[in-house]
Amino acid sequence: MTRKTLRALILAVVLLVTGILVQTLHASGPPAGNKKTTITARKASAKSNRHKKRAYKNKRRHAHKVSRVKRVSREKALTVLREYLPEYADLHEAKTASSATPFLPVPDNFDTRSPFASPALRYDLVKNINTWLGTRYRYGGSSKRGIDCSGFTSAVVSSTLKQAFYGSSRVQASRFIPIFDTDSLQFGDMVFFTGRNKRADRIGHVAIFLGKGVFAHSSTGRGVLYSHITEGYYTERFRWGGRFMSSHYVSAQAEVGSAN
């Protein structure tokens, strides 16, 4: 056997052994390090899937809860109104009423400086409130998909008085001379409450007063409905009311007219 033939034979043996080793490694799986990486990746994937499933369940649970609250609020939205101001509830259910229909009488001591001395504006205010009844509460919301307390009062007042009325409950409260006595409140007044902390003075909730203790608002737990100021939660948190004045209303309308 020549030297050249021997070298060729040795090379062939080396290649054969190398091929066998490669096949053995593939058959036995990845090295320890790669195997560990694969296991980690699988765990991460499983954890991600669990989070997705949990998020999906929470989303469905939340949607069910929201729809349930919305149905309850629609059914009960008029309960307080029917009890204390049945003529207002009749207006909500009437199909032929208009701003020219005599309704919603006010007491003799009604402050006529309020724009709501006008029967037409009283009608419009109730009508605009009722278009929101049953809408669920949503913090920062301003649409029929969800609305918070200041978003609700902003939408109703702006639509009724035909002038912009925006801002948080605290900003809205700062625009009025406080009325601290609930017996002095009248139709169309704004009413302001603290938030969850009943001992705080910081305003955290706002509503629209209609009379006999009844007010309309967007409640955190029940959405837009009518409530009564003697309910314990609101009695403890009431801070003051505020009244729109016709002078402000007229001047604002004049400014809008001149701008146009």
Three-class DSSP category at 143: strand
Residue from 92, 205, 228, 248 carrying the catalytic annotation: 205
Catalytic status, residue 62:
no
Q: Which of the four pLDDT bands, split at 50, 70 and 90, describes residue 66? A: very low
Is position 205 annotated as part of the catalytic site?
yes
Please, which pLDDT band fits residue 200 given cuts at 50, 70 and 90?
confident
Q: Quick one: pLDDT at residue 93?
A: 64
**126 CB burial (10 A radius; 0-12, 13-18, 19+):** buried
Q: What residues pair up with 203 in beta bridges, in sequence order?
A: 194
State pLDDT tens for residues 202-222.
999 999 999 999 999 999 988
Look at residue 18 and tell me whether its pLDDT is greater than 90.
Answer: no
Structural contact between residues 198 and 231, judged by C-beta atoms closer than 8 angstroms: no
Give the integer Cα–Cα distance in Å for 102 and 91.
11
What is the DSSP code string of 1-62? Answer: --HHHHHHHHHHHHHHHHHHHHHHHHHH-S-HHHHHHHHHHHHHHHHHHHHHHHHHHHHHHH
Q: What is the pLDDT of residue 69?
A: 44
Domain ranges of the chain: 77-259
Give, as one character, the DSSP assignment of residue 142.
Answer: E
Residue type, 170: R
Q: Which of 51, 217, 228, 248 is catalytic?
A: 217
pLDDT band at 32 (very low <50, low <70, confident <90, very high): low
Rounded Cα distance between 167 and 157, Å, is 12
Which 3-state string (H, E, C) describes 190-251? EEEEECCCCCCCCEEEEEEEEECCEEEEEECCCEEEEEECCCHHHHHHEEEEECCCHHHHHH
Question: Which residues make Cβ contacts (< 8 Å) with residue 235, sequence separation at least 6?
Answer: 229
113-136 pLDDT tens trace: 999 999 999 999 999 999 999 999
Distances (CA, A) of 55 to 3, 44, 48, 64, 137: 74, 16, 11, 14, 22
Instruction: Report CA Rg, the chain.
Output: 35
Residue type, 125: L
Q: Which two tokens stand for residue 219?
A: 């409640």
CATH code of the domain made up of 77-259:
3.90.1720.10
* The pair of three-digit structure tokens given for residue 99, joined into one six-digit string: 């701003």
Tell me, yes or no, if 248 is annotated catalytic: no
